[in-house]
Chain A
């Protein structure tokens, strides 16, 4: 008896929603970045699950997941560098105070 794919998908969806909520509601910029990480990993769960249950011959799903890790790592590196740069300029990482796009 194997675990059906729905379970995996439900976990991934939950994880995605948690991440989304974090992104939309957290005031701290680092919190938003963490939310983004959650969403990306939810996607990764989906990718691996679909690979495992649908097409095990080709490694597309796994490879895609590895690409997502890589991109996520780069994204966090850039994101954190941005946060540090903003903090140095404005001495805050509260996103509501950083409304530069309005200017």
Chain B
């Protein structure tokens, strides 16, 4: 049974791809058939995927002996590229999450895109084709056996994110500063491309060093990794080892895809896409792919630590992750767009995972990746349900009082929100986030206060508090109190296709954490998740202070949030208490900065975009006004001058020469004519005359015509010849 599932692993991404092809080519006009195909393919992927996952779980020692299966793909030079899949614990846990969450999102999309109502989306079928292709990309990335197919899947997702974020491309807003879906799609595509470029450089570098991109030859080949850790990198990386340099370049791809500082700007704007897409991109698949990639190349990072006890790349990763976590949670507490809060929350949680990987907490990061995917998908879909219920109103200031109107959405949203905050014991987010914090604590206890694990721990702990606070704010503003806008007054609960996936995901958001409860609590050897995925890494020791602190912060953050927003719910037109409070203590500027996302969009607008435009302008001028065109004109003018000169030369000299030649020809032929007439003709005539004369006067008399004369001559001649013969 296990072998059967392992042998058909490759089908997992094939199903949604086929669905994509069929929908895009044949069934675009049939909404029902299209979404059935899309969801059906996802069900198949899910069944096969979970078959593989549970087979993998049942396989002993999978971590030490991952399964690789490859077939030759295309040969290039001396390298034969292969295509295939690998089954290892990381792949298995990710494959547990991806098809299932995708399936939930697909089902949810049926309701969200208005199937069966008057408001059904005009490109409904195409939407399902795109999300199927998106799932293809993510599933292909998860199962792929080498970094080349991983990169291809990665780029498929990049394309789909562009198509889906800009799905409502015809939308325009009155406010010219508000980003439109088509701009947002372009922005997401271009910003992530910056990261992808680094990723590609990293892959090329790795390929140059190893001559292969398959996991078996590179990432799972410990001897090769050790050799790579001892190889000095290219000079531009300073004294780094090649392993660190490659990991840093590949991490560049993650920075783009997982929206880490400084390439985080695309993700909040990506909320312009339909909400299922937000759930798909920003919870289950695309941003997870970035974390998955770093987890994938984790052997490349850990080998350097193993040998050198220090890895600059991991410091970089940890710093970027921790900074992103605190930075975006600060922004999140001031956002009024219900999806905007979640967008920054996603960036922040991804920062947690990245920081965890940076401090070596591989297991904790993976754990958080999985739990986060479930509860963040839940939150996005919950917010989508709210948005549909409020007739596409997204401003939380216009909401309120939805608790009674949308009970299912409310309770599932609370479950997701508490998981995000890390509410103690009963939520998945608590166990995974706590493991990250505990690991950071453990590291900084080992290394002392003035070390980067300390800063990572500090930043993440503050971020944990902020997370709880903005979650409470969001829940309070959206669901509690009285409606502050007419959309909220007329809100209605969403259809079952939307709420049932919410309930299923809420179940996982609560219970999934129990697979990774620390060993100290439930007895040694029982932390199933750690045993399965991270047997080669030591378990993070339980730290009671950290657990208490993070519990306290989560509960405290939620409590303070409730005190500020929930106890006395906002009335219509009332100012955000946070804003008024911060203004009171002269921190209004900070609030404004947070509100405006620390002006990063403006900064990038002023530097990169203006810079690009300016550069383009310079190139334009260089081309048209300064150098190239004038140069070409100069060349043209010189050429024209030369041709004028040539013309003159032609007319004055060559023509005359030619005429002269002609004239001389005529003269010469005249001369020839004379010669011919006088000399040649004369000679010929002369010969003729002489011959005539000789004939007339010499030969004719001899020819008497008389036979006897001839005979006589013959005789005389004979006698003469005989005479001569006799004499000599």
Contacts and interface: CB of A to CB of B under 8 A. Distances in A.
B712 interface: yes
A18 interface: no
A23 B708 contact: yes
A102 B705 contact: yes
Interface in A16-31: 20, 23-25
A22 to B, nearest CB: 11
Q: Is the interface of B mostly helix, strand, loop or mixed?
A: helix
Contacts of B703: 101-102
Contacts of A77: none
Interface in B686-724: 703-708, 710-712, 715
A3 interface: no
B711 A23 contact: yes
Nearest to A102: B705
A24 B713 CA distance: 11
B705 A101 contact: yes
A102 B705 CA distance: 4
Contact of B707 (A20, A25, A95, A103): A95
Contacts of A24: 708, 711-712, 715
Interface in B385-412: none
A101 B707 contact: yes
Contacts of A101: 703, 705-707, 710
A100 interface: yes
A41 B710 CA distance: 22
Contacts of B715: 20, 24
Nearest to A23: B711
A103 B705 contact: yes
Given A20-B715, A23-B711, A24-B712, A95 B706 contact: yes
A75 B569 CA distance: 161
A55 interface: no
Nearest to B700: A102
Nearest to A96: B706
Chain A interface mostly helix, strand, loop or mixed?
Answer: helix
B704 A99 contact: yes
Contact of A99 (B706, B711, B712): B706
Chain A interface size, under 10 / 10 to 19 / 20 to 34 / 35 or more: 10 to 19
Interface string A25-58: 1000000100000000000000000000000000
Contacts of B707: 32, 95, 98, 101
A101 B703 CA distance: 8
B705 A95 contact: no
Contacts of A103: 705
A98 B707 CA distance: 9
B381 to A, nearest CB: 134
A42 to B, nearest CB: 15
Nearest to A103: B705
B638 to A, nearest CB: 87
Q: Which of B704, B707, B712, B715 has the most CB of A within 10 A?
A: B707
Interface string A83-103: 000000000000110111111
Contacts of B711: 23-24
Contacts of B708: 23-25, 32, 95-96
A24 B707 CA distance: 9
Nearest to A25: B708
B185 to A, nearest CB: 118
Contacts of A32: 707-708
Contacts of B706: 95-96, 99, 101-102
A95 B712 CA distance: 14
B704 A102 contact: yes
Contacts of A23: 708, 711
A95 B710 CA distance: 12
Contacts of A25: 708
A24 B676 CA distance: 52
B317 to A, nearest CB: 128
Contacts of A95: 706-708
A103 B705 CA distance: 8
A10 B528 CA distance: 155
A25 B706 CA distance: 12
Contacts of A100: 705
A100 B715 CA distance: 21
Contacts of B710: 101
A2 B708 CA distance: 40
Contacts of A99: 704-706
A100 B703 CA distance: 11
A25 B707 CA distance: 11
Contacts of A96: 706, 708
A23 B709 CA distance: 11
Nearest to B712: A24
A38 to B, nearest CB: 14
A74 B412 CA distance: 147
A102 B699 CA distance: 11
A99 to B, nearest CB: 3
A103 B710 CA distance: 15
A102 B700 CA distance: 9
B696 to A, nearest CB: 14
A99 B710 CA distance: 11
A25 B708 CA distance: 8
A26 to B, nearest CB: 8
A100 B707 CA distance: 10
26 contacts: A20-B715, A23-B708, A23-B711, A24-B712, A24-B715, A25-B708, A32-B707, A32-B708, A95-B706, A95-B707, A95-B708, A96-B706, A96-B708, A98-B707, A99-B704, A99-B705, A99-B706, A100-B705, A101-B705, A101-B706, A101-B710, A102-B703, A102-B704, A102-B705, A102-B706, A103-B705
Given A95-B707, A101-B703, 11 more contacts: A24-B711, A25-B708, A32-B708, A95-B706, A95-B708, A99-B706, A101-B705, A101-B706, A101-B710, A102-B705, A103-B705
Top 7 closest A-B pairs, CB basis?
Answer: A102-B705, A99-B705, A101-B705, A99-B706, A24-B708, A95-B707, A102-B703
Interface of A: 20, 23-25, 32, 95-96, 98-103
